[in-house]
Structure 1
Amino acid sequence: MSQAELPIRTVVERYDALVARGSIDRDPAQAALAARLDALNERLETADLAVKGSSLGWLFGRKTPKREPIRGLYIHGEVGRGKTMLMDLFFDLAHVKLKRRVHFHAFMADVQGRIHAARTAILEGRIKGDDPIAPVADAIAAETRLLCFDEFAVYDIADAMILGRLFTRLFEKGVVMVATSNVMPDRLYWDGLNRALFLPFIELLKTYVDVVRLSSATDYRLEKTDLDRSYLTPLGPDADMVLEEVWFRLTGHKRGARVVLPFRGRSIEVPQACGEAARFDFRDLCEKPLGAADYLEIAGHYGTIFVEHVPVMTAQNRNAAKRFINLIDALYDRHVRLVISAAAEPDRLWAGEDGVETFEFQRTASRLTEMRSVEYIAARKDAASTGG
């Protein structure tokens, strides 16, 4: 078997293969993080071999199946630095069988649902005690040894108030956490209601994870996505193919995962999400009852948004046109990077009669044109680096 045919076993090897293929450029900060992720994977494998008492157990010690705490990783940095890419490489290669990779908000929505079910079971006498969080944590720990979170961020007070108790028990049970985030731990739940009650969780987090800042000098999403391929027209197989290529070059994945964002007592569905990028069809965003607040919520979670199959709009789909106007306003205001496939150039997307929409669409067309420019991308990058 040639060297090129040898199976890839480590994050460093897979990272090197991506560099060799020209998919990414080598970055010292990324390479260093890849090595740290490999070291964590090795610690997990060694600890689990010791617990199992396998035929190699004598190498690692046979005593007791109790797991010693293993420090995870909390990886933070600006958008587009490769945090999610590296975590996903690690997750794919991790030897742990009980592993879960999930968007943090989806995880917390699942936790809140389990807590509600546990409270009901306590009231009905099916669970002893009066703490619904403990059985939920125990169930998660039984299912999961390695938890990988994308987009670790805390906005909701209900989440903030349970995280300390939940993760105290998860960490005690030996669950190892790896997370990506746009903010350092000390900035979590910043300006949140009753934040003082949340601060012990931050100290707990720093006790059980190593905090790593990924400070690559380049925004790889922008480097690998040419400006002239951010607005694709006309619609058809060629546009679809190019958009697929841009998505893959940006995320490293052919498809993203479905994510549900809890918002104001309801849910916003994201058909495909991968790290800091999300992908929608026009119908997902503009033919469903979504408003400006929903679009701002989406823009707050993702630095790059893909919108496919935008049609030419007329009075017959006026409501969809108004939502499209609100969508572009929200993405523009939040400096979100937009990759779009459309039936026509921006100034030809509205073909209705003169009226309010005609006037408003002039602004939309202007913004769509600006969002393709080097100046907009630079402004978006500056806003991301300052937390704007």
Structure 2
Amino acid sequence: MTARNGRGLLHLAAALDQQAAYDAASSVELARLAEYGALDFVTLGDTFARPGLDALAVLSRIAPATGRIGLVPTVTTTHTEPFHVQAAVATLDWVSRGRAGWGIDVSTSEGEARLFGRRHAAAADALWQEAGEVADVAARLWDSWEDDAEIRDESTGRFIDRDKLHYVDFEGSAFSVRGPSIVPRSPQGHPVRVVDATDRHARRTAARYADVAVIRVAGPAQARALRIELRDGAAEFGRNPDSLRVLAGLTVDLGDGEHAAEPSHGGGGPRQTAQGPLYRGGPVDLAELIASWHEADAADGFHLTPVEPRRDLERLVNGTVALLQHRGLFRTFYPGSTLREHLGLGRPANQYAAAGGTP
């Protein structure tokens, strides 16, 4: 679909993160509100560095309570088993009927490493190389079952066509994986992989493996330069750059209601803080900021993190999103049912079926 300005429609996503939230009910409410605004997906962060509920488990609870919106938990690739990670994300895709994503992240601190006692903390470049290997082997495992591998033939007692089950033999820098997945190929084939590419160490992994890259910069010129870098990187890896969506990450504080954006928060770009770019003002000026960045080819859309989740997400949906819809820049309904369809991404071909079954 094309916006009135001739470019593709915006993509919008929102974070559901809440401090000290130990009840999934509030996250369900927020996800339903985001779905009311037809947002592409919601994210839920997770880390070994702080206490909290498991993001993937919470979004598995949200899945049956929603019907269209994409669900993207953060699941770290450091100290975890790649085989289990891919199976858990594929399970979320089944539970949500094709709406799962995977926020790929790494664990860099020694304190997190001590929780597991397997190895010491490593440098960021090594951890992101490992994350890329996990993303690679996950795709292989997702493809280890062809789409029609399940027979379920009661007359012969055959459940699986073994000719359509493929064995993965992968040796990474810090792990190895053998055998096919235990989860059949999920509705999307590959759940959507999301990488925050603000850190330069993460950009190579994002360019090679991500379906969505998030960049947190304060100005449209910086965002545009990073978008070009990521798309060029994707092309160098043999990918179609148009298969990568680049979203600008922005923390939003809409507590001032309809007031204009504070100086250095609105038309001049968000204010850079230690936590990333921050917009503080009203939903009208936020809509203008989003539209202007999109028009300048700075980003394919935005990933927005509300400062006050319930208040800001409501103002975002009923104010900013409604204005963008009125201007023909954002959808008014979901034309499809999967997260890939929301993002305008095709369903990946099975690499083993396409290669005649050769791993």
- Normalised to the residue count of structure 1, the TM-score between the two structures is 0.30
Q: Which has the higher contact order (CA 8 A, sep 6+)?
A: 2
Which is greater in Rg?
A: 1
- Normalised to the residue count of structure 2, the TM-score between the two structures is 0.31
Query: Which structure has more helix as a fraction of its residues?
Result: 1
